A and B are shown apart, each in its own frame.
Chain A
């Protein structure tokens, strides 16, 4: 993206669909399975019995093979994952089908291969044409069973035992293949075809083998024994990787594995308290590269996308088209989870090459002020966001709002963008949700008025605390005065949350405090609806939320609100955390 190409020239980089998480680094094994070639042969009446005999043996052999695979799968994957194989076995036992095959062999005097092929094809074709996804998938199973019978009729043996550990590359891997090959030391699977719901994907995930599907040409491009890197998180595959590439992926593997260890079990569980208060637990995001990590985590969505990072290091603002592509990628990748895009929050310390030299940038030209002063840029960004909202999982948020008229003006420009797009016939979500950051103290004081204009409020504690306590975090002399648990800050939070909820809007937090385990119970108790945290902290925060009762948290919040010093508040929270969560560090 913005860095130089980290891949050397000899490597081949391919992009597919990430099907099963994990990173595999090792030698390629190209797995080739020959589809049986069927020829139509006429047989003599005397040969009929022999033909029927062959068929019976082929069916029996196929049955035995599938039984073996099913038993292996059951042991490795558990009872519920073997449904695929049960279905295939049932097809093999379909008396009506094979009675018909028998009758045709006798009647038409044709060889077993031809009759099996054509008879099963009748059903296969109907299923393939079905609009029902489930039936469509069963078509693959039917074809698989057919090929197995045909292979056995031709007495072809299929290799399933491999030497050493390797990454298996193939045009396609059927369900039985995926399972039976895993008896070997398989590092990963890479296929030309297949999608996220294909058998390869589902089974690889169950087997915990990294996999990438839909690579289109890999079975032709990869060579046996060649080194390969397979990234099941991003879908990237590198053939013949350079040393740096290998190092890069090894480092990524370590990072992700550590994270998964902490996350294990929590990922798919909701952020819900013991007494069933459900809150949103989302993540803050800047770079596109983090997306595969995020999808791994079971976040409820992206609570803050810092769009200004599209500008970092660049001389020129990105065009509407460039922005649209980024926002669309975000929306599509996260779908059906939502994404909240914050409009460019530039100025202050996040400045690009700005000509304006300010004495006091934090109190200066930044956030929504810049956008309102550059309405053409603001309009472009809003157009790009609207265009990316067609799946209805996008929301927009304005930074550094300090008064009501700013919000009204911003909404007018949004309406203008909508009007333009409508005229141009470009689709967008007409009910795009709009929110504001509450980071300037005045916004907190008029929270109820702002809440009447928007759909949600998001508390940006990083700046809010600095403004409220008049402390520059970056200033070592006073940085210890930057206190999340300062009573004034807590009361501000209470006010913002209460006023927002009175007006029927949800209130979230995207500042660092949301990801501070010491603050979780307090924030829960104050009634915060959404926590948008730095991705790394998600497991801990979720764990805390799931281990407490909302009623308890409310009591804690009440207690905290009565305390008059930061030290007392921190002590109270620390003692609670030490008792309930001794292994979560709260410094």
Chain B
């Protein structure tokens, strides 16, 4: 299991578009993926779960991957966050 912390850079936070991007990326990897925010953990492959996080700009999230390809998945996900989900 590996864990990494990310901060949300996007102005509008984790709204529909980035949430969808995140979930699509997570689906590519076999590893299980959970996101924790303020003590609440949700399945990162579930769009409805990601939505309930209400993650706004500046929020810190803990990403947890476990299983096949966990390292690669983690790197790819962190990169996505760093790039602000490629939003303008």
Q: Does A83 contact B (CB under 8 A)?
A: yes
Q: How large is the interface on A (under 10, 10 to 19, 20 to 34, 35 or more residues)?
A: 20 to 34
Contact in complex: B16, A132 (CB < 8 Å): no
Q: Does B77 contact A (CB under 8 A)?
A: no
Q: Does B51 contact A (CB under 8 A)?
A: yes
Q: Of A83, A132, A142, which contacts B13 at CB under 8 A?
A: A132
Q: Does B49 contact A (CB under 8 A)?
A: yes
User: Which residues of A have CB within 8 Å of B20?
Assistant: 86, 90
User: Which residues of B have CB within 8 Å of A93?
Assistant: 47
Given contacts A86-B16, A90-B16, contact A138 B49 (CB under 8 A): no
A119 to chain B: closest residue by CB: B48
Residue-wise, chain A 118-143 has the 8 Å CB interface mask toward B (1 for contact) of 00100100110011101100100010
Contact in complex: B43, A96 (CB < 8 Å): yes
Count of B residues near A, CB < 8 Å?
Answer: 17
- By secondary structure, the A interface counts as helix
Contact in complex: A138, B56 (CB < 8 Å): no
Query: From residue 97 to 116 of chain A, which have CB atoms closer than 8 A to chain B?
Result: 97
Query: From residue 29 to 88 of chain B, which have CB atoms closer than 8 A to chain A?
Result: 43, 45-49, 51-52, 54, 56
Q: Of A120, A127, A130, A134, which contacts B15 at CB under 8 A?
A: A134
Contact in complex: A127, B52 (CB < 8 Å): yes
User: Which residues of A have CB within 8 Å of B54?
Assistant: 127, 130-132, 134-135
Q: Of B12, B17, B46, B52, which contacts A126 at CB under 8 A?
A: B52
Contact in complex: B15, A94 (CB < 8 Å): no
Distance (Å) between the CB of A70 and the closest chain B CB?
13
User: Which residues of A have CB within 8 Å of B16?
Assistant: 83, 86-87, 90, 138
Q: Of B12, B13, B17, B47, which contacts A94 at CB under 8 A?
A: B47
B12 to chain A: closest residue by CB: A134
Give 10 closest A-B pairs by Cβ, nearest first: A96-B46, A135-B54, A132-B54, A130-B54, A126-B52, A87-B16, A96-B43, A90-B47, A94-B48, A123-B48
**B interface residue numbers (CB < 8 A to A):** 12-13, 15-17, 20, 23, 43, 45-49, 51-52, 54, 56
**A interface residue numbers (CB < 8 A to B):** 83, 86-87, 90-91, 93-97, 120, 123, 126-127, 130-132, 134-135, 138, 142
Q: A95-B46, A134-B54, A135-B51 are in contact. List 17 more A-B contacts (CB 8 A).
A: A86-B16, A90-B47, A91-B48, A93-B47, A95-B45, A96-B45, A96-B46, A97-B48, A97-B49, A120-B48, A123-B51, A123-B52, A127-B52, A131-B54, A134-B12, A138-B16, A138-B51
